[in-house]
Structure 1
Amino acid sequence: MRTKLRIVLIISMLIIIAVAAYFYFKSRTAEHVSSYRYPPVKVALTTVKQQVTPRILSSIGELEAVRQVQVSAETTGVIEQIYFQSGQYVKKGQLLVQLKTNVEQGNLGRLQAKLKQAEMAYHRTKQLIDSNAISRAEMDTALADRDMTRAEIQQLQALIEQKSIRAPFSGVIGIRQVHQGQYLEAGSSIANLVDTQQLLANFTLDEQLAARLKTGQAVQLKIDAFPEQSFSAVVSAIDPMVSKSRTMMGQALLNNQHQQLKPGMYAKLDIQETNLPSLVIPETAITYTAYGNTVFLVKKDHNTLTVQRVAVELGERYQGWVEVQSGVKAGDQVVVSGQVRLSDGMQVEPTENTLQQSPSSPSKAKV
């Protein structure tokens, strides 16, 4: 019996010693962990800069000729002669198509003879009225006959002139749509005439961006057909109304002296705004979370650097840089590399940053 009691006491003492040893070593480990300080995380830093940068409004547009018209027949007739080739450059007033005027020319000769007779009759009556040989009514009739004949001649001459279809302005004429000997109705199309010396780029902007659009702003155009070239233009007109799609239309005028560009081509437009001061940081400084955009802001306490996650509101971006509208100020330092290992309050050690160069290109606001 005593032996069993002794065994129970020994086992109990061993259990008590084991439990005491467990809690002792656990408390020592906690003290060691709490007293341990993690080494600073090496990160790249950059300084928030305030600088004046040109802003860009970007849009897509379509080129249109400043002057373009469908050359048409004003009157009916049969084509006697065609004086142009498709795609030819023509000058203002140049004869393009001549309709037959045989009948009109015959009538014109008859009326001119009639006018000559009417003028002679009026001249005789004017001499006779002075001697009271005829009445005033007879002279008035002779005068009316002369004037009516003149009017008929003018009307016929206008009709003959309409049968000479001429270029209303200088430009390139399109594909010919008629043939010699063809009968034309009034309004029949001859060809398209386009003045390509100057072109308009029609574009639209979202109504929120349209308020920043001003006439006279410089525009750079990129055309897919000429990927290595950039074309200069100027905002020439802005529509005063916003469409139902909540966009506003604008026009940019550009010279096309080398005739490279054609109406109907699509263009990418970069419209330069007035230079404005803004805060900029590299895009790599932004950490994207479910709660919004944040940066790790560096805090200095004596010789120790720690980080704090700060929410920021972003503006426009361009070529790796982004405008910061709130959350930081000029001169603040933010982390641009190594954020994945950071959390609030952690110590950091700055390393050399290769992203310090400021943006030299303008920031873009797209449709």
Structure 2
Amino acid sequence: MELHDIRQAISDTDQQLLGLLAKRRGLALAVAEAKLSQNKPIRDTKREQELLLSLIEKGKLQGLDAQYVTRIFHVIIEDSVLQQQAKVQGQLNGDNSQAVRVAFLGGQGSYSYWATQKYFTRRAEQIIELGCDSFNEIVNAVETGHADYALLPIENTSSGSINEVYDILQHTRLSIVGELTHPIEHCLLGLPGTDLSKIRQVCSHPQVIAQCSQFLLGLTNVKIDYCDSSSAAFAKVKELQDPTIIAIGGEEGGKLYGLEVLTRQLANQKDNVSRFIVVARKAVNVAKAIPAKTTFIMYTGQQPGALVEALLVLKQHGISMSKLESRPIPGNPWEEMFYVDVAANLSDYAMTRALEELNNITKFVKVLGCYPSDDITPTQPQS
């Protein structure tokens, strides 16, 4: 076969693969309907393990190695689970809107922009994007009705918790209705032909700068310019047309502004992942078939053992805690509010009883939201 004919055959095969993937996704959604009617959990890890093991064995017969098959079907299974969860949640909460207005940090190309696309493409046919310059502006857009949802970054594996967002949650009337994790790969981006040895200014959001601090320490005579978002940094480099000024952000975002990658993998940690939360004016109910998280804040007071006593309540009711974060209480020097994430549905009896007991032994408890867990642990086939 000629090269042209081979490439055409590859294109035809890719087209067939797309059709099969679309068919599989449709069948996965049909499975969600059946599970919902039978009150079964969305995820069946035993079946997933059996399926993956079978696919690995069949793949070997066709010359495909186990790692290749596993990697591909991890993505497919994760997509199926998240699609099914979104469908079940939409039906339970009567969320049938064709278009959603979402407020997020920055403009097109920012990390929050890509996370918004990732989360809401499963839930609406059209996303009306409302890029904002600050976290307060994002939250205000939803509180005033200008947006249906807000997407906020809350923690990162390199730079830790985003304290400003935690402090906003303490005072807002909004509820957390969803979450997602999104891998972040920081790149150095500049105008085409930029010479790295001649850069004099690096632009990006403060969180991005913090996540790349070790790389930046190795640069000399370089000014750090803090921007409202990574997309704002891209726009600045494009506007100034100065080859000595560069930005840090995502490769795909930089391309939207005509920038090219100079260096990749700048984050302090190799596996750099950000967790985002989705907030709305109205709380949601989480289907029993879906793993849920509940986030609440509490003020225990400063008496000895107060925090330990509160955490023992969770242990006694068999509730697993995944996050504990402390933040200062404005106007109360040296006193702190605790933010807690637990793996539990707010409607569970154990969670209801735990909150009742916490209300009795603490000075203040406020539930910030109960929402579907987005932690999809990859299926591992039994050896």
- TM-score category of the 2 structures, normalised to the smaller one: under 0.3
TM-score between the two structures when normalised by the length of structure 1: 0.23
Q: Considering fraction of residues, name the structure with more strand.
A: 1
Q: Tell me which of the two structures has the higher relative contact order, counting C-alpha pairs closer than 8 angstroms and 6 or more residues apart.
A: 1
